[in-house]
Structure 1
Amino acid sequence: MYSARTGERIDMIYWVDGHYIKDAVTEVSHFMRDWRNDIVKPIDLRTIDIMAASHNLLEVNEPYMLLSGYRSPETNAMLRSRSRNVARNSLHLKGQAADLRLSSRSVNQMARAASACRAGGVGRYSGSNFVHMDCGPVRSWGG
């Protein structure tokens, strides 16, 4: 995965033989921090699992481009003031969501893979070319 904003890249194994690797999960949380103010919040392991499972279903070597992971309340409020598509109680605020892009796959392909996991929310943002994945209730939206 690489960050669209900071240019950072992260490639790692975070789970082995039924166990999460604490240092790797900590690094993922740091990578998915609110880049606007450098605030880190632990990312829900279910969200990481959904991202990984979806990526495996897509059979790609290309890493995800991370557009947004954790968002602080200040960042979420700022984004809400600019777009009606930002939820007041976004799961990004809890470290339970990610907005992702792949240049080799369409929004619809990515969303179908995420939906196949039957594990959380999947939002299609075709106009902005990204997919939202979260570990909340199973649901989908967008076009």
Structure 2
Amino acid sequence: MATSYEAIDALVARLGKASWKERDPIKAELEALAATFPDRKAVLDHLEQAKRTIGDLEARWEVDEVIEKLTPPPVAAEPEEEQVEDPNRPLTAADLNVVYDDPRGFMLHKTKVGERWFATQVDPRSGQPQTFELRPEEVTQLKQQLQGSPYWLLGAGA
């Protein structure tokens, strides 16, 4: 394998000394020889190192063209699928807006998306807050009962 790298080095040296008219056949020969290597990355690294020995910038560009042709195309990253919101997933506090907040322990929430309403109140037996969904007629009844209450939150979309 070392003799093959020596052959690449010899072709790169010839390419560096050749006039611009003589470079195309040498470049084609270099490309054909480099393509025969089973370890593509190793030969590309070797070409990068060998290219630095050339003084002529245009000859370096010729070696760059060989490297570009032999470099495998980048693996296309799979586009991430947009996560579709599951309409049946459990709601979290982030999905709700508080529209009514009575300091005695009663709150009304409305979903940010859609027209679902929830009430939260303290369970007298456990002392813990409990949240439950309200039916549309219950929402209408609560709005009528709580009309004029100072605990409605402004701009909450009630």
TM-score higher than 0.5 here? no
In terms of fraction of residues, the more helix-rich structure is 2
Q: TM-score range by the shorter chain?
A: under 0.3
TM-score (norm 2): 0.20
In terms of fraction of residues, the more strand-rich structure is 1
TM-score (norm 1): 0.21
